[in-house]
Amino acid sequence: MIEHVPVMVTEICDVLASFDHLERIVDATVGLGGYSEAFLKRWPNLQILGIDRDNQALERARVRLKDFGDRIFFRQGNFRYIDKILKEENWEGPDAIVFDLGVSNLQLSVPERGFSFNHDGPLDMRMGKASNGPAPSITAEELVNTCSFEELAKIFTEYGEERFSSKIARGIVRHRERNGPITSTQELVSVIRQTIPAPVQRKIGRNPARKVFQALRIAVNDELRALEEGIEGCRRTAKPGMIVVFVSYHSLEDRIVKHSLRQWYTEGLGVFLHRGGLKPSEQEILENRKARSARLRAFSFKNVTPYGAR
């Protein structure tokens, strides 16, 4: 049984509790349904629209939350189109939209998905890989084997903030020339291990492939642009009082969220609910290591034209 321990769920509930009559929440990254379950239990009259680009995740969430009946319904989709999705579902101007960014444990634990440097599997990494849904057209394998040295180095630098981007890119290109395409996660891990100096690897302590895997995943799924567009979409669908909550797990995501919320604030659209954001408690980090990099930021819209009056 694959579980995903929801991160900072107590803090999110506290933020949402500042809304007087919570009726409709959009869980824009419903994943395995951890947040939604907590919200449905806490607010007995609440309705939720759960969105995820990953069909496998949606199937799990459906089963997990079946006892809540029609208080929750699901929609496969990319949150980069959030305003369009809400319009199609007649759900514009919900009370809150919640984003829990990144990958779920389901994606990391199934080797065939190719997200994990700890398991051997195909180099896939498509979040939207699904039987009947929109999927990114390119896999990590295609990127690793078709990008030039310069393109690979750029991906590793921009999306992984990897110090050894050029060395690793050169190692990959050399490996391709000598041995043919790299097709599995562990083959890629071993190429990376061969390129990063051993003393540095000892100093890093963690798996040296971590940042390259993050970079490839972001590139394959176009995650940062999806986030930017999703944030814009929230603004387009906002009503006075609507709360938007983001939980991010690395500085690239958090930077985008922080700058966008600051921009909204500067434009007088509303207020931060916690200036500087919130971090998980030490207790939560002890119990769930995956929480250690989390940062929660929330914003409440005040001065927007209600969507119905636009």
Ligand X SMILES: C[S@@+](CC[C@H](N)C(=O)[O-])C[C@H]1O[C@@H](n2cnc3c(N)ncnc32)[C@H](O)[C@@H]1O
Q: Please provide the DSSP assignment of 241-304 as one string.
A: T-EEEEEESSHHHHHHHHHHHHHHHHTTSEEESSTT-B---HHHHHH-GGGGG-EEEEEEE-SS
* Using rule CB under 6 A, residue 297 touches ligand X: no
Paired strand residues for 243: 96, 300
Number of residues forming the site for ligand X (CB under 6 A): 22
Task: Find the binding residues for ligand X in span 102-121 (CB under 6 A).
Answer: 102-104
258 binds ligand X (CB under 6 A): no
Residue with smaller CB distance to ligand X, 191 or 245: 245
Gap between the Cα atoms of 292 and 283, Å rounded: 10
Question: In the complex with ligand X, which residue's Cβ is closer, 80 or 250?
Answer: 80
Given the rule CB under 6 A, which of 75-83, 206-214, 253-261, 270-278 is the region that contacts ligand X?
75-83
In the block, which residue shows the tokens 């097709």? 183
Looking at beta carbons only, is 225 or 259 nearer to ligand X?
225
Residue 249 Cβ vs ligand X, minimum distance, rounded to whole Å: 8
Closest approach, Cβ 256 to ligand X, in A, equals: 13
- Extract the runs of DSSP E, i.e. beta strands, from the chain: 24-27, 47-52, 72-76, 96-100, 243-248, 270-272, 295-301
Closest-CA residue to 123 (of 185, 75, 79): 185
31 touches ligand X (CB under 6 A): yes
Q: Should residue 79 be labelled a site residue for ligand X when binding is judged by CB under 6 A?
A: yes
Residue among 108, 191, 218, 226 that touches ligand X (CB under 6 A): 226
Q: How many helices (H) and strands (E) does the chain have?
A: 14, 7
As a whole number of angstroms, the distance between CA 262 and CA 168 comes to 36
Among 33, 94, 160, 208, binds ligand X (CB under 6 A): 33
Q: Return the number of other C-beta atoms located less than 10 Å from residue 229's C-beta.
A: 16
Least distance between ligand X and beta carbon 258 (Å): 18
| Least separation in angstroms between CB 268 and ligand X | 28
Q: Which stretch binds ligand X (CB under 6 A): 72-80, 195-203, 256-264, 271-279?
A: 72-80
CB of 53 to ligand X, least distance (A): 4
CA distance 16 to 298: 9
Binding of ligand X by 260 (CB under 6 A): no
Identity of the residue numbered 107:
Q
Please count the CA atoms within 13 angstroms of the CA of 293 that sit on its side-chain side. Answer: 11
Q: How far is the CB of 176 from ligand X (least distance, A)?
A: 29
Binding mask 35-54 for ligand X (x = CB under 6 A): x---------------xxxx
Choose which of 12, 50, 72, 78 interacts with ligand X (CB under 6 A): 78
Match 């929480």 to its residue by tokens. Answer: 291
The binding site for ligand X (CB under 6 A) comprises 4, 6, 29, 31-35, 51-54, 57, 78-80, 100, 102-104, 127, 226
